[in-house]
Amino acid sequence: MNVGRIVPRVGAGAQEGYAPELLYATFNQDYGCFAIGTQTGFRIFNSDPYKEKMRREFKDGGIGIVAMLYRSNYLAFVGGGRNPRFPPNQVMLWDDASSKIIAELEFRSDVLNVQLQRDRIVVAQRNKCIICSLETKPRHLHAFETADNDRGVIAISSSSESGILAFPGRQKGHIQIVDLHSCVSLSAGQQGPASTSATHSEPAANVQRSRSRTKGSFSAEGPNGLQDPAQPSALSHPTNINIIAAHATSISALAVSFDGSMVASASEKGTLIRIFDTMSGRLLHELRRGVDRADIYSIAFSPDGSKLCVSSDKGTVHIFNLDYKPNPEQHMSSGAALSSGGNVGPTSVGGNGGSNKQSMFKFMKDLLPKYFSSEWSFTHFRVANEVRCICGFGNERNSVVVLCADGTAQKYSFDSYRGNCVREWYRRFI
């Protein structure tokens, strides 16, 4: 699951409030850890409670993208910064237990994002999403064409029992949902369905074994090790692929729930977050962040799928409740408010604490613009210094951890009934 985005990329360090040495920040799959890429290496931290776990400094360049595999010793790197340690078109698999690169994948164009799952590496390029096997000798498995994706937007479910991958479709505003566990073998002469634009016959990556002489180690808490395949498997192609027309403008952010049942998306307009069922494509929620355009930096589901947090360039983090039960007397109370000249803006409705806010005109949604039928966040907070940030849910119930481009990590707790937010701590990680 992708809750990480570049914070910031090359050249952004000159902007006010940004840490010039910070190139990238991302959470691991369950938000329990986060990693940063710097001009001279990378660092790993425990999210909550906050604690630096390890750091690696390289003499010959920076790390522009870091991807973690839960709490294991395996990471993926792409070079970046003033003096990139690796070329921007290569993904390096790093085993921190032995402090060396165990494999490298070379692509024809720059890599914009990388996600790891138990047995897969997912790579985003400007117009392609590529899936490779995660093993000591990675194999190219699938490739899908996408619309222009300069942000490298991809998201994959965190559960090892789910293989739901989401990425932009070939048309602007569309999402492709691929179930990587639903695969059929293809003979040498077969090709995948034309609608998916799979390019199995023309490998998109050259895989090489590599060695490194760096020293040090980081204790592993994940898989015992990557295994060599007994023999090369036949080419395969996912059979369960859904296309969702989610927005009218380009996709700017995606998130998949832990169990893979839901996908959340935002467009470059940034006013609405839509949540869909990944199997049927049915719209489940339409959540409104605001009325002004915004750049959505991250979307994150809570582990149980009951809440969603969203960060934007407005310096705010919005939290939405996805499992509240609306008050059956809502229509009556709305009508009363209208007759008495009540407020037409978003107000809290519903019988349960933590209900999302909705317009009092919602009961007339079929007659009025969509604005009046949207759900608004039940609470939100503004981060210190109002800088670019990404968010994920904390270890404690009703808490959110935020990683900011000024090099700080912040934890906020919220009251699930009243919606009040309090900052618990503020730490500088670089």
The Cα–Cα gap between 260 and 262 comes to 6
pLDDT for the residue numbered 293 = 84
Structure tokens belonging to residue 107 = 């692509």
pLDDT for the residue numbered 294 = 83
Burial of residue 303 (CB within 10 Å: 0-12, 13-18, 19+) is middle
Q: Is 69 left (phi over 0), alpha (psi -120 to 50) or beta?
A: beta
**DSSP 8-state symbol, 5:** B
pLDDT for the residue numbered 198 = 40
pLDDT for the residue numbered 184 = 52
Structure tokens belonging to residue 123 = 């790579």
Give phi and psi for 272, each to the nearest 5: -125, 145
In 3-state terms, the chain is what percent helix, strand and coil (to 5)?
A: 5, 45, 50
How confident is the prediction along the chain (430 residues), in pLDDT tens digits per residue?
333 344 444 444 445 578 999 999 999 999 999 999 999 999 999 999 999 999 999 988 899 999 999 999 999 999 999 999 999 999 999 999 999 999 999 999 999 999 999 889 999 999 999 999 998 889 999 999 999 999 999 999 988 778 899 999 999 999 999 998 876 544 444 444 333 444 333 344 454 444 333 333 333 334 334 544 333 344 556 667 899 999 999 999 999 999 999 999 999 998 899 999 999 999 999 999 877 888 999 999 999 999 999 998 888 999 999 985 544 444 333 333 333 334 444 444 433 445 655 444 444 444 444 545 568 788 999 998 888 899 999 999 999 999 999 999 999 999 978 888 999 999 999 9
Find the Cα–Cα–Cα–Cα dihedral 7, 13, 17, 21, rounded to 10°: 80
Instruction: Name every residue whose Cβ is closer than 8 Å to that of residue 116 and which is 6 or more positions away in sequence.
Output: 67, 68, 69, 74, 75, 76, 122, 134
pLDDT for the residue numbered 362 = 47
- Residue indicated by tokens 């999402």: 175
